[in-house]
Structure 1
Amino acid sequence: MIKALTSLLLVFAINGLGFNAQAHGFKAGDLTINHPYATPSLKGSKTGAAYIRSIKNNGKQADQLISARTTVAESVELHQMQMDGDVMKMRPVSAIDLPANAELRMMHGTPDGYHLMLMNLKQPLKDGDRFQLWLQFKNSGERQVMVYVQTPKSGTPAHHH
């Protein structure tokens, strides 16, 4: 009885922590897409950034993320952060490689990392919002995911153009 009550209280406690504590994952072929999220957009900005905590390729064949789309922005660009001398620069890329049996992290603040740039936002992204994002993979096809808008743990908004 006490064990069952403790388990029930633990479930309520975890659910009461809010969406930041709730992992959400999606499958696309051999790929596991964990916790897609975006950061709130800056006031007056027409761009936003979306990230994915990890994309794990559980297969024996490499794959690529080749495009993305959403209804909250006119277009989505794949971007990579790279050091150019002592300056961090953001560059569009045509695809993001997903090697076989490997995991890629696309997280806010990751140096030399990738993210999805949301171009010409149709409305500001606010903490707590959710939106649909369609990811197109070369081998695993298209997968629709739910993106949660959340302020990064550091409390600072994401970089924007």
Structure 2
Amino acid sequence: MKQILLSCAFALAAFPALAEIVVEPGEARISRPGAPSGAAFLTVTNTGDLADRLTGARTDAAEKAQLHTHVHEDGVMKMLHVEDGFEIAAGESLALERGGDHVMLMGLAPLDPEGTLNLTLIFENAGEIEVELPVALPR
């Protein structure tokens, strides 16, 4: 019996507790009318006890979905691909928003302004989470 209990304890130790991720959908936007690029905006909250990392995203509506951020260099704002993703500490939130961190959509199919965009977010610990974002018209 003692051996069985020890085996169970080791098995449980091999599977760390997962972060608990809550996604508050924002919106999907195209850059400008007819443009093949756009972005997805939303808020991710880690309600768990462990940090997690948003490592990627994908959608059938675009050839490529990447995590991007904006940086200010030499008086110029630049958009950069964040290959390592974004860490979300336990109890913290990550806002993916205009002018900051966001999901960049490239090779984007035309979006229905009355429709939605299905987006899969990929996390290091929590796995994949699907969200549906309303499409917003460009400004």
Query: The TM-score by the shorter chain falls in which range?
Result: 0.7 to 0.9
Matching residue within 90, 94, 116 for 2:103: 116
Larger-gyration structure (1/2):
2
| Aligned residue identity for 1:143 | I
Match of 1:90 in 2: 79
Which whole-Å deviations, capped at 9, do the CAs of 1:8-53 have from their partners, x for residues lacking one?
xxxxxxxxxxxxxxxxxxxx9511100231113423321111111x
Q: Is 1:41–1:124's contact at 8 Å kept on the other side of the alignment?
A: no
Larger strand fraction of residues: 2
Show structure 1 runs of 4+ deviating over 3 A.
none
Paired residues, what number? 121
Distance (whole Å) between structure 2 residues aligned to residue 63 and residue 120 of structure 1 = 28
Distance 1:29-1:61 versus aligned 2 partners, 3 A rule: closer
Distance (whole Å) between structure 2 residues aligned to residue 44 and residue 36 of structure 1 = 21
1:128 Cα deviation after fit = 2.3
Alignment map for 1:1-161 (pairs within 5 Å): 30-52=20-42, 54-94=43-83, 95-109=85-99, 113-121=100-108, 123-151=109-137, 156=139
TM-score when scaled to structure 1?
A: 0.69
- Give me the identity figure in percent: 35
Q: Is 1:43–1:124's contact at 8 Å kept on the other side of the alignment?
A: no
TM-score when scaled to structure 2?
A: 0.79
Distance (whole Å) between structure 1 residues aligned to residue 111 and residue 69 of structure 2 = 21
Unaligned runs of 5+ in 1: 1-27, 157-161
1:88 Cα deviation after fit = 0.9
Unaligned runs of 5+ in 2: 1-17
RMSD: 1.8
